[in-house]
């Protein structure tokens, strides 16, 4: 497929891998921020092929993983209501809340539907005027514009039965939190290509300045990843932290101004809890006052939520790059994709699931 | 019966228990075993499925005993939605799927049964179209539907219609095909392009289009199997990678045979549209269902002969060697990425869940 296949070429990949291995005079610690990149790195084995040059710490960039437990529990309460059709992207359905997940709510009779686009949820609202249709609006800057457009469309159509449970998160404040951590080992970042497609690169310059850390905007296909890694390693070797764009076919410095305009109108920046990490100031988006009538957390009075994370789950440390998934005592024993304790084991983009799926061979066998 | 008190007839609320004939919708009476059931069989099922209208009605089909070999027997239920999709229908699946289950034991199919569970209110014409599709598929395969049953459930108790088919076939002497025979040194072959059925259904169900229309690959594979066995009698394993896809099937074989299977990802023939759809939805083509493909595991010495036999058949034109069986990592399927790194591939847990981004 054009624009994809040529970025999978194994011959060029081999050359780039050799180049990176030859350039690196030490083993550098890089964080890929985005869960899609984690998935691609593990799936293609980029980390094992580059093991002598780079250690990857997998960042908190899986929206499923970082959606706060309180928000999951809220979604479960709303989805269980008989007057509600609850719409979500597919991989949210298995994320464990305190007691259950959306699949169990569906099995108990809740009308929970998987949609591929928030506009599908708007159409469901048009088709079911007698029902309240709620869309679970999670994700980074990548999914936010489409979710914003869903609200705009709902207003254009005069729909009063559509609302959105918003739990959007933003990448730059998370990078700041990771670099502020006294125990961080991250020496360079691969910034999430598709986030920057929307937002541009302007937010990342100050991070490079403040923390003297190289940040390279990176894509998702094997050659895209390798080019991002190659540039980051080169900057580290030269001792010249800088912002680079290794994904220019999708990312321009100014991003997508149309999307940014909609985002600025529909959302406002707010503090946000990240599951496993905690509160990160100014790291989220919520509906702005002009659009708050579409806020499901206000429309549905669900206050009585008492959350409790399982103690055996160390996903927070995994998300912060403090431990590798297999260093968690529950990994592969108490916690598997079938019985996930934390969200990082649920989503295909979650670091624990990625390790469980693709890396069981290298993981020391557990004696239970 | 005579002991039961006879309730007085409530004339006010009484309705005729035997609805009128020639209705355009299925009513409960069509499953009651009475006149309506008889009409449905006589005027709908028998013409569609190819039985003679004066066929002698009895409670079971009686088949001639095969001269030699062992019997293979299988059953499967079909609940697919939508009932019709590009490339086929639930009727095609119900015939081809059960024939394929027989063929994967190396059996030559002899006959099929068909059980229908119909939802009250189903359009009779729609049922007719499904039955016609079943009949056409059975005739194309040369495997007759010899017995059947119909039940009707209340509206809302079923999604339009469900079909169960069972099949019986005969396995020739000397043929021993089963997952446990996968042996280190064997070669893994897939008979064609993977992922078409699952993506065709998903794109129709979810209203997603990918530039080209993908059609289901539903097909009866018994003649392909016969061609393969003629060339390579000692086929070790045959499986059709339906639900769970190629990965799910190979994982099962690795577990049952306690062998490791190594898959060359770049060698798996994935159509461009399937790759695009899977990339878009965050799915793995290796996990997507097929309805007209088989995986053959054969001794390495016979791999080229097997490949040639498959490719010479219209249903095996795109056959490819995609991996091998080994002694390392018993019970696991390991895929080698085009870059050369290996990863463990798991069986899908249940429903495939499209990713957020």
In order, the DSSP letters of A288-324 are: -GGGGGGBHHHHS----------TT--HHHHHTTSS-
Task: Name the residue facing A358 among B340, B344, B349 (closest C-beta).
Answer: B344
**Confidence (pLDDT) at B82:** 87
**Confidence (pLDDT) at B4:** 44
Chain A touched by B266 (CB under 8 Å): yes
What is the ipTM score, two decimals?
0.71
Task: Report the sign of the C-alpha dihedral through residues B297, B299, B301, B302, in that order.
Answer: negative
Mark which of B171, B192, B212 sits at the end of a domain. B171
CA A204 – CA A200 distance, rounded (Å):
9
Which chain B residues are closer than 8 Å to A352 by Cβ? none
Same domain (yes/no): B193, B339: yes
Torsion of CA A183, A185, A190, A192, to 10 degrees: -20
pTM of the predicted structure, to 2 decimals = 0.80
Nearest residue in B to A47, CA atom: B341
* Average pLDDT for chain B: 87
Nearest residue in A to B354, CA atom: A90
Q: Which residues of chain A have pLDDT under 70?
A: 1-4, 347-349, 359-368
pLDDT at B103 over 90: yes
The order of strands in the sheet holding A215-218 is: A54-61, A28-34, A188-192, A215-218, A243-245
Task: Name the residue facing B356 among A4, A10, A138 (closest C-beta).
Answer: A138
Q: Kindly report which listed range (A248-252, A316-320, B120-124, B140-144) carries the lowest average pLDDT score.
A: A316-320
Q: Per residue in A251-303, pLDDT tens?
A: 999 999 999 999 999 999 999 998 878 899 999 999 999 999 999 999 998 77
**Confidence (pLDDT) at B18:** 37
* Tokens encoding B200: 């065709």
Mark which of B131, B148, B171 sits at the end of a domain. B171
Same domain (yes/no): B188, B325: yes
Torsion of CA B203, B207, B211, B212, to 10 degrees: 50
pLDDT at B15 over 50: no
Which chain A residues are closer than 8 Å to B356 by Cβ? 63-64, 89, 91-92, 138-139, 143, 347
Give the structural domain span for B321: 179-345
Q: What angle do CA B10, B13, B16 make, to 5 degrees?
A: 95
Chain A touched by B333 (CB under 8 Å): no
> Contact B168/B72 with Cβ under 8 angstroms?
yes
**Confidence (pLDDT) at B13:** 40
The partner residues of A164 in beta bridges, in order of sequence, read A135, A295
Which chain B residues are closer than 8 Å to A64 by Cβ? 356
Same domain (yes/no): B167, B256: no
* Tokens encoding A187: 């020496």
Same domain (yes/no): B154, B238: no
- Total domain count, chain B: 2
CA B95 – CA B106 distance, rounded (Å):
17
Which chain B residues are closer than 8 Å to A46 by Cβ? 339, 341
CA B76 – CA B74 distance, rounded (Å):
7
Task: Name the residue facing A63 among B281, B339, B356 (closest C-beta).
Answer: B356
Same domain (yes/no): B139, B183: no
Nearest residue in B to A194, CA atom: B357
CA A105 – CA A108 distance, rounded (Å):
5
Same domain (yes/no): B186, B327: yes
CA B136 – CA B143 distance, rounded (Å):
10
Question: A65-170+255-299, superfamily in CATH?
Answer: HypD, alpha/beta domain 2 (3.40.50.11740)
The pLDDT of B308-326, averaged and rounded, is 98
* Tokens encoding B348: 């899908």
Mark which of B137, B171, B205 sits at the end of a domain. B171
- DSSP class of B45: I
Same domain (yes/no): B192, B341: yes
- DSSP class of A26: S
Task: Name the residue facing A89 among B329, B341, B354 (closest C-beta).
Answer: B354
Inside any domain, residue B5: no
Q: Do B338 and A347 touch (CB under 8 A)?
A: no
> Contact A139/B357 with Cβ under 8 angstroms?
yes
**pLDDT bracket for residue B210 (50, 70, 90):** low
Q: What is the largest CA-CA distance in chain B?
A: 81
Chain A touched by B43 (CB under 8 Å): no
Same domain (yes/no): B166, B73: yes
Whichever domain contains B315, its CATH number is 3.90.650.10
Q: Kindly report which listed range (A47-61, A337-351, B16-30, B156-170) carries the lowest average pLDDT score.
A: B16-30
Residue B105 φ/ψ region, left for φ over 0, alpha for ψ in the -120 to 50 degree band, beta for the rest: alpha
Inside any domain, residue B206: yes
Count interface pairs A-B at CB distance under 8 A.
95
The pLDDT of B298-311, averaged and rounded, is 98
Q: Per residue in B279-295, pLDDT tens?
A: 877 788 999 999 999 99
Query: Cβ–Cβ contacts within 10 Å for residue A188, how many?
Result: 21
Which chain A residues are closer than 8 Å to B345 by Cβ? 357-358
Cis check for the bond before B82: say yes or no (omega within 30 of 0). yes
Which chain B residues are closer than 8 Å to A14 by Cβ? 339-340
Same domain (yes/no): B56, B186: no
The phi and psi torsions of B45 (rounded to 5 degrees) equal -70, -45
CA B299 – CA A87 distance, rounded (Å):
49
**pLDDT bracket for residue B50 (50, 70, 90):** confident
Query: Which range has highest mean pLDDT (A29-38, B167-176, B329-338)?
Result: B167-176
Chain A touched by B334 (CB under 8 Å): yes
Same domain (yes/no): B136, B278: no
CA B183 – CA A318 distance, rounded (Å):
39
Q: pLDDT higher for B223 or B60?
A: B223
Same domain (yes/no): B33, B151: yes
Whichever domain contains B40, its CATH number is 3.30.1330.10
pLDDT at B11 over 70: no
Same domain (yes/no): B286, B270: yes
**Confidence (pLDDT) at B19:** 38
- DSSP class of B43: I
Which chain A residues are closer than 8 Å to B355 by Cβ? 89-91, 347-349
Q: Do A1 and B276 touch (CB under 8 A)?
A: yes
Q: pLDDT higher for B352 or A156?
A: A156
Chain A touched by B1 (CB under 8 Å): no
CA B54 – CA A238 distance, rounded (Å):
89
């Amino acid at each position: 497929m054009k624009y994809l296949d040529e970025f999978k070429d194994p011959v060029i990949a081999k050359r780039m891998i050799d180049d990176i291995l030859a350039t690196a005079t030490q083993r550098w610690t890089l964080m890929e921020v985005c869960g899609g990149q984690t998935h691609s790195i593990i799936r293609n084995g980029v980390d094992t092929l580059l093991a002598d040059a780079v250690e990857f710490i997998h960042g908190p960039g899986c929206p499923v993983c970082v959606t706060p437990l309180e928000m999951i529990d809220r979604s479960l309460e709303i989805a269980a209501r008989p007057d509600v059709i609850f719409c979500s992207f597919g991989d949210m359905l298995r994320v464990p809340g305190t007691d259950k997940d959306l699949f169990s709510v569906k099995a108990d009779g809740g009308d929970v539907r998987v949609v591929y686009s928030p506009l599908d949820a708007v159409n469901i609202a048009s088709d079911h005027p007698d029902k309240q249709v709620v869309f679970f609006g999670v994700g980074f800057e990548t999914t936010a514009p489409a979710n914003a457009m869903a609200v705009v469309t709902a207003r254009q159509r005069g729909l009063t039965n559509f609302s959105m449970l918003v739990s959007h998160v933003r990448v730059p404040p998370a990078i700041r939190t990771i670099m502020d951590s006294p125990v961080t080992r991250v020496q360079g970042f691969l910034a999430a290509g598709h986030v920057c497609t929307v937002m541009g690169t302007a937010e990342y310059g100050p991070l490079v300045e403040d923390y003297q850390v190289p940040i390279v905007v990176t894509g998702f296909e094997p050659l895209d990843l390798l080019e991002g890694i190659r540039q980051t390693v080169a900057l580290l070797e030269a001792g010249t932290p800088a912002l680079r764009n290794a994904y220019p076919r999708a990312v321009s410095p100014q991003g997508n101004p149309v999307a940014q305009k909609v985002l600025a109108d529909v959302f406002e920046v707010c503090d946000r809890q990240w599951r496993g990490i905690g509160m990160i100031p100014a790291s989220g988006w919520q509906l702005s006052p002009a659009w708050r009538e579409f806020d499901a957390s206000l429309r549905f009075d669900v206050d009585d939520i008492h959350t409790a994370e399982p103690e055996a789950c160390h996903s927070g440390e995994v998300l912060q790059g403090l431990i590798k998934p297999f260093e968690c005592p529950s990994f592969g024993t108490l916690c598997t994709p079938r019985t996930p304790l934390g969200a990082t084991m649920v989503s295909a983009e979650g670091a624990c699931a990625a390790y469980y799926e693709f890396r069981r061979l290298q993981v020391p066998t557990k004696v239970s | 019966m005579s002991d039961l008190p006879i309730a007085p007839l409530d004339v006010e609320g009484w309705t005729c228990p035997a609805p009128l004939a020639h209705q355009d919708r299925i009513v409960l009476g069509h499953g009651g075993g009475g006149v309506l059931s008889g009409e449905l069989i006589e005027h709908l099922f028998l013409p569609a499925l190819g039985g003679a209208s004066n066929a002698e009605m009895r409670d079971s089909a009686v088949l001639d005993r095969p001269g030699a070999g062992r019997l293979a027997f299988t059953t499967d239920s079909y609940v697919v939605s939508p009932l019709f999709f590009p490339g086929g229908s639930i009727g095609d699946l119900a015939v081809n799927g059960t024939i394929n289950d027989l063929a994967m034991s190396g059996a030559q199919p002899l006959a099929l049964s068909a059980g229908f569970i119909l939802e009250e209110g189903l359009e009779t014409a729609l049922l007719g179209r499904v039955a016609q599709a079943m009949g056409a598929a059975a005739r194309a395969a040369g495997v007759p539907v010899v017995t059947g049953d119909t039940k009707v459930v209340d509206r809302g108790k079923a999604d339009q219609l469900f079909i169960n088919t069972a099949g019986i076939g005969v396995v020739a002497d000397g043929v021993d095909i089963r997952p446990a025979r996968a042996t280190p040194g064997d070669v893994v072959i897939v008979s064609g392009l993977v992922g078409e059925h699952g993506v065709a259904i998903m794109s129709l169900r979810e209203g997603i289009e990918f530039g080209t229309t993908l059609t289901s690959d539903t097909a009866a594979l018994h003649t392909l199997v016969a061609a393969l066995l003629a060339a390579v009698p000692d086929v070790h394993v045959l499986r059709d990678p339906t639900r769970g896809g190629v990965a799910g099937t190979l994982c099962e074989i690795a577990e049952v045979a306690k062998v490791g299977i190594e898959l060359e990802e770049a060698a798996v023939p994935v159509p461009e549209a399937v790759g695009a759809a899977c990339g878009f939805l965050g799915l793995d083509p290796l996990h997507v269902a097929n309805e007209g493909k088989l995986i053959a595991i054969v001794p390495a010495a016979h791999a080229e002969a097997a490949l040639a036999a498959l490719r010479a058949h219209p249903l095996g034109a795109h056959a490819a060697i995609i991996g091998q069986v080994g002694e390392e990592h018993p019970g696991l399927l390991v895929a080698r990425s085009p870059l050369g790194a290996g990863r463990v591939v798991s069986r899908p847990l249940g429903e495939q869940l499209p990713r957020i981004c």
